[in-house]
């Protein structure tokens, strides 16, 4: 199975799967911050395409926050993992409380990462949605819902590593899934990387700024100006 030195290495390898999209002006690369941004940056650079973020927040199980019981995205999008919620008997109040706590951080990151730039227009374009790996896939499902609401013509999900069942679930919601490594037991995404150091807010901004400087300004997305 494929192993990666770091997220940039994973992105460079993943970018090779998109050679057919080089020079296509309809392509936009989207990243789940923070860890998905260095991966997506390499794909966007390879394709000479715009790079933007889709901010999603995991809803952690109370007392075991590393375990996702769902995820939220802007626009009132909430994905709930019914298996986890039912098995652990998590109440609606607990779900609502977790979502409320994460909403403030979601909005903060949305504002901070773009450094005042509006989101990139997705309508009628090809959107490539990238993360550094999938475990349960709940955050990716929330990101997919957020991107679908912006009406791309085609939506592709690309990740370096994921379990087959997560890819199968995602494949039902998008036009194509590209995963370099299918791993049956993904306990932690970091086990597939030599260097899985946390990506910082500053690194996210620097990579987004670098791609923005490399390209002409993109049209503003209707309804996102308030995040500037």
Residues 139-154 pLDDT 10s: 899 899 999 999 999 9
* Tokens of residue 183, six digits: 């791993």
Does residue 216 have a pLDDT over 80? no
Does residue 100 have a pLDDT over 60? yes
Does residue 120 have a pLDDT over 70? yes
Instruction: Give pairs for 78-81: CB < 8 Å, separation 24+.
Output: 78/142, 79/138, 79/139, 79/141, 79/142, 79/145, 81/136, 81/138
What pLDDT sits at residue 187? 65
Does residue 224 have a pLDDT over 60? no
* Tokens of residue 37, six digits: 């941004």
Which range among 4-18, 99-113, 169-183, 211-225 shows the weakest confidence by mean pLDDT?
211-225
Mean pLDDT for all residues in the chain? 88
Higher pLDDT, residue 12 or 84:
12
What pLDDT sits at residue 220? 43
> Would you list the domain boundaries of the chain?
7-212
**Beta-carbon count within 10 A of 91 CB:** 10
Task: For the chain, list the strands marked E by DSSP.
Answer: 27-31, 51-53, 56-61, 64-73, 77-80, 126-130, 154-162, 176-182
What pLDDT sits at residue 126? 98
CATH 3.40.50.2020 fits 7-212, yes or no: yes
Residues 69-96 pLDDT 10s: 888 988 788 988 888 899 999 999 999 9
What pLDDT sits at residue 104? 85
What pLDDT sits at residue 67? 79
Percent of the chain with pLDDT over 90: 58
**Mean pLDDT for the stretch of residues 176-181:** 95
Higher pLDDT, residue 176 or 119:
176
Task: Tell me the C-alpha distance between 162 and 221, whole Å.
Answer: 31
Contact between 4 and 13 (Cβ < 8 Å): yes
Contacts of 34 (CB under 8 A, 6+ apart): 198, 199, 200, 201, 203, 204
Rg from Cα positions in the chain: 17
Confidence tier at 219 by pLDDT (50, 70, 90) = very low
């Amino acid at each position: 199975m494929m192993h990666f030195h770091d997220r940039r290495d994973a992105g460079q390898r993943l970018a090779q799967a998109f050679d057919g999209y080089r020079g296509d002006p309809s392509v936009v690369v989207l990243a789940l911050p923070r860890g998905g941004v260095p991966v997506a940056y390499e794909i966007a650079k390879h394709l000479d395409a715009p790079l933007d973020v889709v901010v999603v927040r995991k809803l952690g199980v109370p007392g075991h926050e590393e375990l996702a019981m769902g995820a939220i995205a802007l626009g009132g999008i909430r994905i709930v993992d019914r298996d986890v919620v039912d098995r652990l008997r998590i109440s609606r109040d607990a779900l609502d409380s977790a979502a409320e706590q994460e909403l403030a951080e979601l909005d903060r990151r949305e504002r901070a990462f773009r450094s005042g730039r509006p989101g990139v227009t997705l309508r009628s374009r090809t959107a490539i949605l990238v993360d550094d790996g999938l475990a349960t896939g709940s955050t990716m499902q929330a990101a997919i819902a957020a991107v679908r609401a912006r009406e791309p013509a085609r939506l592709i999900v690309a990740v370096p590593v994921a379990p087959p069942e997560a890819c199968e679930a995602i494949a039902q919601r998008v036009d194509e899934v590209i995963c370099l490594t299918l791993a049956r037991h993904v306990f932690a995404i970091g086990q597939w990387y030599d260097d899985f150091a946390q990506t910082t807010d500053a690194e996210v901004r620097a990579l987004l700024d670098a791609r923005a400087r490399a390209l002409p300004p993109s049209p503003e997305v209707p309804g996102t100006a308030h995040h500037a």
